Structure 1
């Protein structure tokens, strides 16, 4: 495997997305924590505001009942109307409220002078050399008569301030910690991916050089790279099979077309030689036409076989009654068997339905019946049967002849295969190959079910789901 440069690793999509995923995860975690803190802070501040409302209501009631003097007296400690700033520590520790009564000239009549918020509810700070950064929630309102204003405030709990500061530091620490971890994870992940992809790429390069036997090695852990490797290996196996098949087809084509082409060339030479003999010319032309017909039939069968194996006809599949099709084809072949002095028996189960191409299935059955007609003995009994069983349709064509030789059973469906006993009859060895191809494109199977007594060809299809 060739080494991968750091620049290629760091510039890869896998590396960038791994790092981005790590950062998104970290930011998402931080956002969730801050959302939780915001909910907790809102609940805590709500409790503080509720207590402020209660204190404000109590002081308003005192002012309404005892007047300004009573309010000032209530806010005086040890006879002192103005609070000492040192008392703030005790108030902070005991979670008490801060109050101030101020005149329109901003003169403090009682309470702590270090709070001067705007009107209404506000979040502000106290004026104190050590507690100036400590936030308070306050409420300022004029008392009845408009002579003075009442200010009530409470410290925001220390735990909120400490927690907020801790979360700020923790957020930065998380981001600073996640960045190198994401970079390292992205590097390791992209390097592993590059190693596996390089293995697949090396296999592709070997295939490009003509080494069709190489395959992508599997790690055995069943991950996406193993699944991709399996798909590539399956594709290579298929390519190898198609290549071998193409080689066999090429050899078969060359062999099967050589004879009619040679015969045609010979007939043309004879036609040139006997040009002065009308009867000989007619005979030579007739023989040449027969050779051309053989060529065209072989080429047409090859084109048809290629079309079926490519699967292009699946688009024309539709629900159909296979029983009616078999009966129609059998009726059309009955006169041919009678002329050949062969008995023909039809055994069809009614209403056997499949999904398929009517033309292809007609071709399949016609090829089987032509095979039986041409290669069965004189006076043979030939039969065609159709039945439904086990969720499948079973189509059979058989005879009572000597059957097939055992070595031919495995190769009888291959292209251009013709048994020795068939060499004297017309044909190109593609009929049964087309039968198998049509069966497979219908998700079915064609096989030799019996070889003695008689040869029985069996094709099965999935029944149509209702």
Structure 2
């Protein structure tokens, strides 16, 4: 029980609730004392003013009729409802007339306004003197008699008592309200935090598929959980990608490395002349260059997925890039008996990294050349490779289409992964990184890569976001 209480008191929600309760208590008490003193002082000032006015009236009666009129005036007024306190005493302090039976000792010894409230008893209220307090003005008349005119302070004291009880009631209601708020709000928040903590522990234990709970209320906890879940999804995706890449590297790079070793071993195993040694070394260098290109492509994809080179983007016209790349591959297409066509209308500008976009289009054209059917010996019925650009809504679409075997729809998503080479492409040179690199480049540019059916063949579409001034 003590452990649970200690754990509860150590939570931020309970501490904040206690802090707010303490601050409210201090503020309420300060306001209570300020308002009470202000009100009591106001009532006391009003009482003193009324007392001075009564003393003036009684003094005028004494001046007009002497002691007999003074005694009659005090006797008459002391019998009225809500009367002041009246007392006439002889020089020894014995009470001769009035509505006061006894006074706190020493009150009649000091003339003028009393400097503090004093206790007294009315007639017929023995034993309750402590319940009555008053202030008074004491003055002497020439024969040594003393006159006291006072005012009961029950109204200010009653007001103070009412305010005190109101404060206690308000603090009680506030305490109950604070408990209810903690129980229905703070406790719920603690439960949410406990769920988040449990999910975090499972994630730290290695379960990257675990996600933080989302209640659907749209509050701060939900927004935090949604953002963290998106981060966890990205981490899981990168982790799966890393595992996939590692497996593929171990699988797909083992073959060329083994081939390199076998060539080197075969070359050293027998007596060969310089020409044969040179040819073997050239083959080994070619194989090594292919491995270097593969590792460079892996490095480039990793940098692109991390956002590298995004700062090198600038607004450029796209038509010149398409024509430059097509012009570069046109002789290669001619040698393969293919027709390379560029279909781009009005020039459009995009915010791009020229080198990356040019390399992506080059890779797509190179793939199209590899997988397009070769023309017949007479050069007739040449298949066509089309590089096109058009605008659709808020997107600029750049496509490279061939008339080869294409990729089945069920395998298109797989074809964009690293080192994935479909069975139909195993006979062609390559590393299986071209489409993966294109996908990373498009992600860097805020666009997307789409594989579509060209009937026959494959159409690879690069969808770029249009600049604001060119959106339709």
Task: Provide Cα deviations, 1:317-367, integer angstroms capped at 9, x if missing partner.
Answer: 65524xx1452253143132144323331415434444x544443433333
The correspondence for 1:39, drawn from 31, 35, 39, is 35
Cα offset, 1:296, TM superposition: 0.3
Alignment of 1:216-365 (within 5 A): 241-273=237-269, 277-309=273-305, 311-313=306-308, 316=311, 318=313, 320-321=315-316, 324-325=317-318, 327-341=320-334, 342-354=339-351, 357-365=353-361
The correspondence for 1:463, drawn from 460, 466, 471, is 466
Cα offset, 1:436, TM superposition: 1.1
Q: Which residue number in structure 1 is paired with residue 161 of structure 2? A: 162
Alignment of 1:87-166 (within 5 A): 94=82, 96-98=83-85, 124-129=116-121, 130-132=128-130, 134=132, 136=134, 153=151, 155-157=153-155, 158-166=157-165
Q: Which residue number in structure 1 is paired with residue 442 of structure 2? A: 439
Distance 1:371 1:349, change over 3 A: farther
Provide the aligned C-alpha RMSD in A: 5.1
Structure 1, 52-61 or 185-194: larger mean CA deviation: 185-194
Q: Give structure 2 stretches of 5+ with no counterpart.
A: 122-127, 141-145, 375-381
Determine if contact 2:452/2:460 at 8 Å carries over to the other structure: yes
Higher relative contact order (CA 8 A, sep 6+): 1
Task: Provide Cα deviations, 1:147-191, integer angstroms capped at 9, x if missing partner.
Answer: x99976552515314314535765786799899999999997798
In structure 2, the residue corresponding to 1:11 is in which secondary structure?
helix
Cα offset, 1:10, TM superposition: 1.9
C-alpha distance in 2 between matches for 1:116 and 1:318: 99
TM-score normalised to structure 1 length = 0.71
Alignment of 1:43-82 (within 5 A): 43=39, 45-46=41-42, 49-50=45-46, 52-53=48-49, 56=52, 66=60, 69-70=63-64, 76-78=70-72
Distance 1:67 1:316, change over 3 A: same
Distance 1:439 1:377, change over 3 A: same
C-alpha distance in 2 between matches for 1:179 and 1:141: 56
Distance 1:180 1:392, change over 3 A: closer
Q: Give structure 1 stretches of 5+ with no counterpart.
A: 143-147
Task: Provide Cα deviations, 1:360-410, integer angstroms capped at 9, x if missing partner.
Answer: 434333332332343334544333333333323322222344543455433
Structure 1, 441-450 or 116-125: larger mean CA deviation: 116-125
TM-score normalised to structure 2 length = 0.70
The correspondence for 1:451, drawn from 428, 451, 454, is 454
Cα offset, 1:279, TM superposition: 1.0
Cα offset, 1:285, TM superposition: 1.4
